[in-house]
Every structure is written in structure tokens, then in C-alpha cells.
Structure 1
Amino acid sequence: MASLSDLPIRDDLRGQSPYGAPQKHVRVQLNVNENSHPIPEAVARDIVESLAAAVLTLNRYPDREFTVLREGLAAYLGHGIGTEQVWAANGSNEIIQQLLQAFGGPGRRVLAFPPTYSMHGIITRGTGTTWLTAERDPGYELSAETVVAAIEAHRPDLVFLCAPNNPTGTPVALDVIEAAYEASDGMVFVDEAYAEFMPAHAPSAITLLPDRHRLVVSRTMSKAFAFAGARVGYLAADPAVVDALRLVRLPYHLSALTQAAAIAALRHAPEMLATVDDIRAQRDRLVSELPVLGYRAYESWANFVLFDGLDDPHATFEALLERDIIIRDVGLPGALRVTAGTEQETTLFLEALAALAPRGAR
């Protein structure tokens, strides 16, 4: 049996680790920011019927331009976004990969501000693009001054901003994105995977797209739409960006079944998003109640909360796992991240953590 070291793998991949969120089947799963609420039965029935119709056409290739899906996504996004400005792929991770295939690669550089979504760096390195980092402001915040200074220091080909940021939940103000765009002559990518969980008044980076042809804003159906298993991500950008992605996408990269399921889900967007308010409420509950237990909870505009004040985060993670609850150790000193689940899941987590507080909190 060979190991990786026995293979002629690329030198820049040696010693790297794959994305590895623990996959454990426990009663309370609050580790990968899924939507804990099931898809409504009536919606599920329509999706199944759409899939059944699509199965009858599987002897033919799907629409490689996935036109109907793009029309549905454009209508959902609003803000005057046209079908020609929308692109979709198998999760927003594939969106990022295609973006880097088109605008990154050997000799090109991405600038990011960790801690941030770990797949940004993994995909960047996987495409042979150089991964550069700059520090955030205190409290994991990000100011326009900090971003501009980093861009001027590194002159990257792409700037990655996660808004709200994962794993911290930190919002990114539009003036920060505007400043990044003005300071850069490369692509500016804004990952809005958690946009639906932002406060209702908070504007999306999509509002900045007019006259900014180097700006790209990605979304996903995995979170708010409770569609993680379907793997559907998408972006909005200038039509020229979409043309660039056509150059690197694999032929027919979105299957007929994926397209059918996503189109059906978008037909029921209000029902699919009906749980968002409840998730926000549980997130805000976590932010309020974690400090009562002796922890610091960071402001979050996503569907999760980062909290710190732990002597041994891994020990707390394992102790919760023993109680059939899994959250996420994101590798930050003294910190863990927990997804906002259902009311019952949130209660079970808080009760279990309270029982551990004497040995978990500083």
C-alpha cells in the first residue's frame, strides 16, 4: 500500500491536509453551519416530482448554460441583476475554484484576512495560486484602512472578503468592500454564504455591482435554503466574469438533477426561507446566554456564534461530544464555534455547556 510520499504529487501539495470537518452522527449536530430545520414536506414533494421528470431525460446532457436556473437565481437576488450576470456551480466552493482557475494560478496571488473560511486557502493553493494573508483589526473586525494598507503592501491579483466572516460571524461593511475595490486593480471576491442571516436592514455587496466589473459576489443555497446536500452555489458579477468562467468550467458541470432540484426550491423560496428568523433568534440567544456562562460571544451576522474564554477548547469539544453534541473547534486560541440550531438543539447545547463550565471557562 503506497502513501502520498510515494507518489509524484505536486511539491506545493506535499504536507497539506484536506478539508476535514469531523463527520460524526450524533443527536445534536452544530458543527458545520447547516440549517437544522428540514425542508417543508410540500416543498420536498414538488422537488421530488421535479427530479422524477428530470430522470426521464437523463439519456441526454443537461442544459450546459442552466438557463432556467440562472433566471430563477437572478429573480431571487433582485437588485436589477440579469440572467447574464449569474453563474452557478456545485456549491460555492466550485464557484471559488472556477474563479481561481480563470483569474488565479501560478504566478498570481490571493490576499485574505484570516481567520476566515478555510476552503478559501485550500482551493487557492490547489489551483497553484499563492495565498497571502494580512491581520485583522482587534475583535476580528475589518476596517477599510486595514484592507487598503494590506492591498497596497501586497498588490494581489485577487482579494477575498468573507461577509459575514466564517468562523467569526463578523460583518464586513460596504465601505470596506468599496475601499478594497478602489485600492485594487485585480478581482475582489466577496463570499456572502450567510447573507440571508444578516439583519434585515443590512445591504448586500450585490448593491455595489453596477460599474464594478472586477467585483464578484457569491452565495449558496446550502445554508438558508437548507439545501446543503444538493450542492448549489452561485455568483453575481459583470457578464464578462461569467464569460471568463465559461472558459474553465467542465462541460455540463451542473447535472440535470441538480438543476431540477434547485429550480424547484427557488419556486418555493418563501417557504424555504421561513426558518431564517428562527435561526437568527437562536443565534442571538447564544450571543446573550453564553456570557452568562462566563464566555465571550462575538457579534455574529451569520447562523453561528464564535465564543472564547476556554482553558482547553478541545477538552470541551470532546466533553460535549460525549453528550451527543458536536460543535466546531476552529483552531483559534481559547475558542469554539457553534451553529445556531433549532430551539431544542440550542437548549441542549447551552445546558450541556453550563454543566461543563467549571472546567471549561477561564
Structure 2
Amino acid sequence: MNDRRDSLSALPLRENLRGKSPYGAPQKSVPFALNVNENTHPLPEAVQETIVGKVASVVGGLNRYPDRDAVELRSELADYLNAQVQGIDLAYENVWAANGSNEILQQILQTFGGPGRALLSFTPTYSMYPLLAAGTDTDYVAGTRGSDFSLTQESALEQLAEAEPAVVFLASPNNPTATALGPDVIEALYEASEPYRTMIVVDEAYAEFARDSTRSALRLLKGRERLIVTRTMSKAFGLAGARLGYLAAAPHVVDALQLVRLPYHLSAVTQAVALGALAHAEDLLATVDDIRAQRDRIEATLRELGFSPAVSDANFVFFTGVRDSQALFEALLDDGILIRDVGIPNSLRVSAGTREETDAFLTAMRRLAPEHVLPAGNGASAEPPATDSPTPDIAKDTTR
């Protein structure tokens, strides 16, 4: 491995890529994989049949390029968002789609970031943000959150004024903490960023799992030409393997992104799979309520056991109060349960899976808690890590 690293360092890499590690997440064969925030419910048979039919309908034309603008898919995505969030009125011109929301975020930085420009985000947060910044030669400014991982309006505005960034990424719900951001913070950042013409990007990868009282930033789009809201079909729709992400924004933002998108970037097969899934949106989203119920079970049980779980608006739970994160991680792994060490002291993260998976995790935690819970008053609330990146390499987060 060292020889490979030596060979890599000998290449004429861009300087901002030297010493970087590629995105990675543990991939282990275990009975209960609860580490990458997937929707662990399998696709219903009716959905599978529709998707297979949609794919079959395009196979005969794979010798031709797909619709490079994905107009039908973008129209269906706009209709889906209009149905999900009352009071918005999006058309296909407001929507853009790509291979996962990671590609969407990359295209945003290709368009509005780049040399001499900065991306601001607030750590700990999604670990792909600095990697996307490096890949687009955009300076990454790692802003900070409070000791409870919250982001106040006052703190956000102070950090914005200091950084004067070209782009701000706001994960809401945030990963790894699962906490949602108040619309007041988003609105304040948008207004304060006018002198810098900053693009404000709200990453809503987990929005469908949010609590009923949590408001989507989609409601803020009207009249805000520099606001972008990104979504994915990897989570609530259970299409992590299909790779389909999308955004909603003003039409001219979509026009701008097409300046950097690769030609025919979204395959005919990917578009067909997504259209098949959207035709069964109601069936697929039926799993969301069950996942939220398992999430709430996890929160309540961990609190009873003496840990400190954050109130989650996502399909996972972040909890502090762990005596030794690595030790508990390994103890669970010995039981065939893979969760996530996010690199934050005394903290771990677990995905909310099916009832069976949740039962397995909670049964193990009840047995392990006496040895692994950190007594109150002994640092149960961990401070954010003092690093230049959101989290150490071990905390590489979920692909979207």
C-alpha cells in the first residue's frame, strides 16, 4: 500500500489533491448493516415490475443517446415535489437531475465555485463537501457549530461575513447529527449574502424523513434566485443503487448548470428506473412512516439506557455519551451489527432499518450499555473535532 502511495505522490497531481483520501465507507458482509443510511426495505414487487418494464422499453433504443435534458423525468420530479410540499409550484424548468445528489453538488461547484472562490459549510457535516471542493479546485472553509452541534443565525452570519464565500452548503437534516436547520437561518444567510452574490445550497437528502413540524427549504425558493435545494432518490425511495439526485431552483440556475454538465450524462436506463419509481411514489414512501417509527424507538431506548441521542429529522440517529466509540463499534460488529463511527469523540451513528434490524440493534445495546455508556458529567456532550475537515477519514459519510 505504501508503494502505491509513493507512486501516487510521484504523479503531477494538483497540489490541493496531495495527501487526500478518496471517499470510502466500510463495506462488510454482516447480518445487520446499519451504517450508510440506506432505506433497508426492499422495493415492493409491483414497483420492481414497473421499473423492469420501463427499462425494457428503452433497451431497444440503447444504440441511441438518451434525452440529454431528461425533460420527462424532470417534469415528474417537479410534480412529485409539488405534491409533497404545499404552496410551491415547480415546473420542469425548475428541476435538474444527475447521477446522485453528489453529482448535483459537484456541478454546482463547477459552475459557481472554482479557483479563487470558496465553499463554506458548517462542521461536523457531510464529509463529501470538502472532497467536492478539492475536486473542483474550490477553497473549502470549514465553519463551526455550537458544542451541541446546532447552528445559530448569529454564528452563521458572522462566519459568512468572514469567509465571503461563493457558495454555502447547508445540510438539513444534517449528516451526521440528523438535525434540521431552521428556515430563519437559511433566510438570514440568503439576505446577508447578497453583497457577495453567494449561492445558498440546502442539501435535503433526508427531507422525506423529517418530522411533520419541520419545514422544507423548498418553500423559500420563490423570489430567491440564488437559492438551490437538492434532493435524492437514494434514501426515501430506496434507490441508492440507481444513482439519481436532483435539485429545485430558479430556471436560470438550471440553465447555468447545463454549461458544465457532460453530454448525455444521465443514461436512458437511469431515467427509466427513476420514472418507474416515481410512478409508485406513494407505495415507496409508505416505508417512511415505518422508518420514522423505528428511528423514534432508537432515540427513546438510547435515552433510557443513558446515552444522549439527538432529535432526528432523518432516517438515522446520532448519539453521544459513549465511553469509547471504537470499543462499542467493535462490540456491535461482533454481534453482526455494523453502525458508523463518525470520528466525533464519544459519539456514534446508526441507521434506522426494519423492525427486525432495529430489534437486533436495541437488544445488543441493552446488553452492552452498562459497560459502554459514559456516566453523566464525564464529557457526555462531545465537542466538535478541531480539524480542517468535517471529520477524520473514518467518518466518510453516506453516498447520495
- TM-score using structure 1 length: 0.98
Letter in 2 for 1:104: G
- CA shift, 1:358, in A, is 2.8
Aligned: 1:277 with 2:285: no
- d(CA) in 1 for partners of 2:11, 2:371: 45
Choose from 132, 135, 140 the match for 2:141: 132
- Report the Cα distance in structure 2 between the residues aligned to 1:350 and 1:296, rounded to whole angstroms: 15
Q: 1:286 and 1:140 mapped to 2: Cα distance?
A: 20
Amino acid aligned to 1:288: A
Which residue of the partner structure matches residue 20 of structure 1? 24
| Matching residue within 180, 196, 202 for 2:189 | 180
Q: Secondary structure at the match of 1:230?
A: coil
Displacement over 4 Å in runs of 4+? none
Contact 2:34 2:337 in 1 (8 A): yes
Instruction: Please give the per-residue CA displacement for 1:6-62, whole angstroms capped at 9, x wherever unaligned.
Output: 211111111111111101121101000000101110111110111111111100000
Distance across 1 between alignment mates of 2:319 and 2:299: 8
* Higher mean C-alpha displacement, 87-96 vs 349-358: 349-358
Counterpart in 2 of 1:170?
A: 179
Quote the Cα distance in structure 2 between the aligned partners of 1:96 and 1:21: 19
What displacement does 1:137 show? 2.3
Q: Which residue of 2 aligns with 1:155?
A: 164
| CA distance in 1: counterparts of 2:306 and 2:21, whole angstroms | 34
1:85 aligns with 2:94: yes
Q: Which moved more, 1:169-178 or 1:134-143?
A: 134-143
Contact 2:180 2:214 in 1 (8 A): no
1:340 aligns with one of 352, 356, 372:
352
Match of 1:324 among 336, 339, 342: 336
Percent identity, please: 57
Unaligned runs of 5+ residues in structure 1 are: none
What is the alpha-carbon distance in structure 1 between the residues aligned to residue 15 and residue 215 of structure 2? 43
List aligned pairs for 1:50-69, cutoff 5 A: 50-69=54-73
Correspondent of 2:318 among 303, 306, 312 = 306
Amino acid corresponding to residue 271 of structure 1 in structure 2? D
CA distance in 2, matches of 1:261, 1:134: 38
- Partner Cα separation in structure 2 for residue 238 and residue 183 of structure 1: 19
1:6 matches 2:20:
no
Is 1:32 paired with 2:36?
A: yes
Aligned to 2:222, what secondary structure does the other structure show? Answer: coil
Structure 1 residues 93-131: Cα deviation after superposition (integer angstroms, max 9, x where no partner): 000000000000111001110000101111111111000
CA distance in 2 between counterparts of 1:216 and 1:88 reads: 13
Aligned twin of 2:242: 230
Q: CA deviation at 1:141?
A: 1.0
Deviations 1:253-296 (A, max 9, x none): 00000000001110110001000001111111111100112211
Between 70-79 and 6-15, the greater mean CA deviation after superposition = 6-15
Question: Letter of the aligned partner of 1:14 in structure 2?
Answer: R
Q: CA deviation at 1:301?
A: 0.4
How many residue pairs are counted as aligned between the two chains?
362
**Residue identity opposite 2:174 in structure 1:** N
Which one of 346, 352, 355 corresponds to residue 367 of structure 2? 355
> Where do 1:286-301 residues align within 5 Å?
286-301=298-313
Please report the RMSD computed on the Cα atoms of aligned residues, expressed in angstroms.
1.0
Partner-residue secondary structure (3-state), 1:275:
helix
CA distance in 1, matches of 2:302, 2:19: 37
Report what 2:129 is aligned to: 120
How far is the alpha carbon of 1:349 from its aligned partner?
0.4
Q: 1:96 aligns with which of 102, 105, 109?
A: 105
Q: What is the 5 A alignment of 1:190-209?
A: 190-209=202-221
Deviation at residue 199 of structure 1 after TM alignment: 1.6
Aligned to 1:265: 277
Which amino acid counterpart does residue 115 of structure 1 have in structure 2? Answer: P
Question: Gapped runs of 5+ residues in structure 2?
Answer: 83-87, 375-400
Report if aligned partners of 2:100, 2:245 keep a CA contact under 8 Å in 1: yes
Contact 2:225 2:249 in 1 (8 A): yes
Q: CA deviation at 1:206?
A: 0.6
The amino acid across from 1:19 in the alignment is: Y
Alignment of 1:213-224 (within 5 A): 213-224=225-236
Take 1:192 and 1:292, find their aligned partners in 2: how far apart are those partners?
Answer: 30
Distance 1:201 1:308, change over 3 A: closer
Distance 1:330 1:164 in 2: 16
